[in-house]
Structure 1
Amino acid sequence: MIATNAEVGTAAGVPCVVVPPEGGGRRSGAGLDPSGRTDAPVVVGWHLMDAPRSEAAFAAALPLAGLDAWKVYLGLPMMGARLPEGGMDEVMRRGYEDAVLLVHGPVNAQAADEFDAALTALRERYGITGPLGLFGGSAGAGVALEVATRRSDVAALVAVSPMVALRPVVSVLGTLFGVDYRWSPESDAVAARMDYPARAAELGTTPLRLIVGSEDDPSAFLEPARDLAEAVAGPADVVVVDGMGHALAEEPGLEPAPQTPHAAEVDAHAVAWFRQHLAP
């Protein structure tokens, strides 16, 4: 379940769940009260396309327990509250038609494009002035990386089951779903943009932790994560969670659900990284 003092709403039109730091409670009838904690870090994350696949479900799976910070969970385009007409069936249809140009590319680009306005709205709404951390799972991790390439103020980043290179993920998904994806100049360009080991220099010296399950596909997730950790200029490591696959919650993954043991382990690794690298 998500925190009892969480506020659910939107920020510049983006669905979000906001959990205040210690001492920041709910003021009756007036939303969250910063209670003098405006200088606490703000940590913003995006969910997976696998379970958990909504901002509320992600907040339950990775509550960042014990981290004294503003925790913000943003919804991905085309997922959660913004599922297209036809729901997940329509998302899957688009994936079968062209997973790169109709799903992964536009979701990554739109989520990154709308971030600045969402963060500005949140900082103004709550008076938040503290340092910025980013996190995400799978496709959401790709969004966190994309945002970090565009900003110079990301103090720490945690990427879970991370999609750090699109091309090998498309290959694995093609095998899984029986699709022989035919690359085009347009989709090649999207894959080049979503190749973060190749763009590692754009991440500057942002401290980066990548967390991968031992049961996840190594060619699509573990090997690219290691490539990225080796390529970045700042502090970086790769944590392998024994026995964990790709997802962080049980299906269907749209609503908040009890935290799994693997998600709790991921949560602890993420909190440790943010505590080490974020300071108000």
Structure 2
Amino acid sequence: MNSPITGTAAGVPFTALPPDGDGGENAPLIVTWHMLDAPRSDAAFAAALPMRGLPAWRVHLGMPMCGARMIDGTMDAGLALIREDVLMSFLHPFVVQATEEFPDALSSIRAQLPVGDGPIGVLGGSLGGAVALRVLADTQIPVFAGALVNAAIRMRSVVDLFPGDYPYGAESEKAVDNLDFLPQAAVIAERAPLLIVSGEQDHPDLRADAIRLADALGERSELLSIPGLAHPLAEEPGIEPAPQLPVAREVDAGLIAWFRHHLARRG
């Protein structure tokens, strides 16, 4: 079994898993963005959803202020941003930064690893799902297939998970609407087929959003419901790699089947 490769790509930490078996040279690339719930680092996400057996590189990118980018080795700075303004100081800028730093990170990955230069696969979990969706909706980076796991499809639903009534104003209304991907379903459908993995025990609004997005995408999507899956994919604290939970193994199997199918269609 190939060991993980760690490094940074244009300042973004990553954990890369080489293709299993032969074909590492110029193999296709699948890029992921992790959750801010457990697993909340690129290394932990790679352990939870390694997608072993695929003839593709899986490069798991670190989200801002997570994993190797934590300040003083803790999540305390991120928690302070949540207390300051959960949308405008935390959720929105994290998604924007992760999306905007991705093109340079992708170029750096291609310079460091023997990956192919064709369309990539994208995968995002929870808040990382909003990054994957933004790559699909707002960039021209070629994508052969995408996948989401318990994703932040409508940022308004995520904000509602935090205590209290959020005091929306003109700027925050614009920000939260820009991260609502249901109205962008037609654009996403044109870009790539999308697997939407939703835990049956996920937050009710996030699960409802997943079902609505699958309906809006129609034949360009597949909804995979996972019995017993709540929002996290790993046990706390979720920063270091940990043994794969049985419920994460079910998600992993669905992702492997999805990407294997679309890799085969690429030829």
Q: Shared fold by TM > 0.5?
A: yes
Residues 216-271 of structure 1 deviation map (CA, whole Å, 9 limit, x = unaligned): 1121x111112212223661021111011000000000000000001000000111
Secondary structure of the corresponding residue to residue 59 of structure 1: helix
TM-score with structure 1 setting the length? 0.88
Q: Which amino acid aligns with 2:18?
A: P
Residues 103-149 of structure 1 deviation map (CA, whole Å, 9 limit, x = unaligned): 11011000000111111111122242243100011001111111112
Secondary structure of the corresponding residue to residue 39 of structure 1: coil
1:261 matched to 2:261: no
Residues 161-215 of structure 1 deviation map (CA, whole Å, 9 limit, x = unaligned): 11110001211223xxxx3211111111111111011112221241001111111
1:156 matched to 2:154: no
- Aligned-partner Cα distance in 2 for 1:153–1:234: 20
1:67 matched to 2:54: yes
Secondary structure of the corresponding residue to residue 87 of structure 1: coil
Aligned to 2:124: 136
- Indicate conservation of the 8 Å contact 2:135/2:141, yes or no: no
Q: 3-12 or 250-259: which moved more?
A: 3-12
- Which residues in structure 2 correspond to 1:29-108 (within 5 Å)? 37-85=24-72, 87-108=74-95
Secondary structure of the corresponding residue to residue 229 of structure 2: coil
1:212 matched to 2:198: yes
Counterpart among 246, 260, 267 of residue 275 in structure 1: 260
Residues 65-93 of structure 1 deviation map (CA, whole Å, 9 limit, x = unaligned): 21111010000012111123583222122
**CA 1:73–1:152: 2 relative to 1, 3 Å:** closer
The structural deviation recorded for 1:151 is: 2.3
Secondary structure of the corresponding residue to residue 18 of structure 1: strand
**CA 1:274–1:239: 2 relative to 1, 3 Å:** same
Aligned to 2:101: 114
Secondary structure of the corresponding residue to residue 191 of structure 1: helix
Secondary structure of the corresponding residue to residue 162 of structure 2: helix
What percent identity do the matched residue pairs reach? 43
- Aligned-partner Cα distance in 2 for 1:274–1:214: 22
Q: Which amino acid aligns with 1:125?
A: Q
Q: 239-248 or 148-157: which moved more?
A: 148-157
- Aligned-partner Cα distance in 2 for 1:86–1:66: 33
- Aligned-partner Cα distance in 2 for 1:253–1:4: 23
Q: Could you tell me which runs of 5 or more consecutive residues in structure 2 were left unpaired when the two chains were aligned.
A: none
- Indicate conservation of the 8 Å contact 1:55/1:75, yes or no: yes
- Aligned-partner Cα distance in 2 for 1:183–1:250: 33
- Indicate conservation of the 8 Å contact 2:155/2:179, yes or no: yes
TM-score with structure 2 setting the length? 0.93
Q: Which amino acid aligns with 2:153?
A: V
- Indicate conservation of the 8 Å contact 1:205/1:234, yes or no: no
Q: 223-232 or 269-278: which moved more?
A: 223-232
Secondary structure of the corresponding residue to residue 244 of structure 2: coil
Counterpart among 188, 198, 213 of residue 228 in structure 1: 213
Q: Which amino acid aligns with 2:115?
A: I
- Aligned-partner Cα distance in 2 for 1:88–1:209: 30
- Indicate conservation of the 8 Å contact 1:40/1:70, yes or no: yes
Query: What is the aligned length?
Result: 262
Secondary structure of the corresponding residue to residue 167 of structure 2: coil
Aligned to 2:227: 242
Counterpart among 142, 147, 151 of residue 135 in structure 2: 147
- Aligned-partner Cα distance in 2 for 1:261–1:137: 17
User: How large is the Cα RMSD of the aligned pairs?
Assistant: 1.7
- Aligned-partner Cα distance in 2 for 1:258–1:22: 19
Q: Which amino acid aligns with 1:215?
A: Q
